[in-house]
Chain A
Amino acid sequence: MTKWFFYATLLCAAMFAISPFVIANAPYESTMGLVQKVFYYHMPSAWMFLTASVVCGIASARFLITGDSRHDRTAWAAAEMAVLFGLLTLVTGPLWARKAWGTWWIWDARITSSLVGWMIAWAYLILRQYGGPGSEKLAAGLALFGTANVPFIYISVNYWRTIHPATTVVPKLPFSMGFPLWFCVSAFTLLLVVLMKLRVRVAEQQARLDAIYLSLDEEA
């Protein structure tokens, strides 16, 4: 692992250690009160979920076009990130909603499309794990659908009736709420990069191992 990876991991850990203090200093929201502070981890998780889905789709498209296995490894790592951050989003959301809306779950356009996007990422991983030879191209095709779902998730709150906060909330945040949010977004972005790098490294080493076993088989 390179030096930048070590420093990035250190910085990321420090940011996550500081984040509870930054969030604690943020003011309470007028209607939701204390529980609104779930927002500072919920929203960065959701953004990382969407980012990972887009990265997975772009890498898959490049893999389908070029056939370069490096893109395939990136796509696989990104799909795992999408599952992880999607899970964080889909668990922290209901914990917030239970208090703010009085219910754990509503089948509105955003939550439902997020669940669909998360299940597509799961389907990608299951296909890669159990699909056998050739499944990487099938999975890459599936990832394109996951990416196509991302803009729909983002804009859904503006076009369909829902009690989910609109996309206008973030640009209108006062500094006292905006600073903790962007601090957490930075921490989560750094974490996504670190985890992606780590996961791609696992895939690279696995590919190296497979190549060694293949060469041994050929020699035997």
Chain B
Amino acid sequence: MPVSTSFLRVVVLVLGLSGIGPSVITPVASVSAQTQPKQQEEFIPVDQLPPQEQLPAAPLLIAAYTFVLLMLFGYMFTVSRRLNAIQGEVDRLDRDLKKSGRA
């Protein structure tokens, strides 16, 4: 479509020359200029991170306490289960021995 391509080129040229084009394009360009960070020409070191970038302490603290309590409860639960299982087996053997008259 050579006709339509050359027609478009003419429209763009006319718009550009008449000043309509820049008035449409300029706001977009200015927005992009505002959002893009400025190009860095050097790195400046700081001793402290800005507050908004510092690691929050609360999740670490909560994780520590939760871990301790979960592990302690978990261990207590497993020991209780082991004890009940052994106790049950001892009782069962005692009963069996009494039934057979060996105890």
Contacts and interface: CB of A to CB of B under 8 A. Distances in A.
Interface of A: 16, 20, 33-35, 37-38, 41-42, 45, 84, 87-88, 91-92, 95-96, 98-99, 191, 195, 198-199, 201-202, 205-206, 208-209, 212-213, 219
A209 B93 contact: yes
A208 B75 contact: no
9 contacts: A34-B57, A38-B65, A42-B64, A45-B68, A84-B75, A195-B76, A198-B83, A202-B83, A206-B86
Given A88-B67, A209-B93, A99 B86 contact: no
Nearest to A39: B64
Interface of B: prevailing SS: helix
Interface string B80-92: 1011001101100
Contact of B83 (A35, A205, A213): A205
Interface of B: 55, 57-58, 60-61, 63-65, 67-69, 71-72, 75-76, 79-80, 82-83, 86-87, 89-90, 93-94, 97, 102
A88 B71 contact: yes
A37 B102 contact: no
A96 B61 CA distance: 7
B47 to A, nearest CB: 12
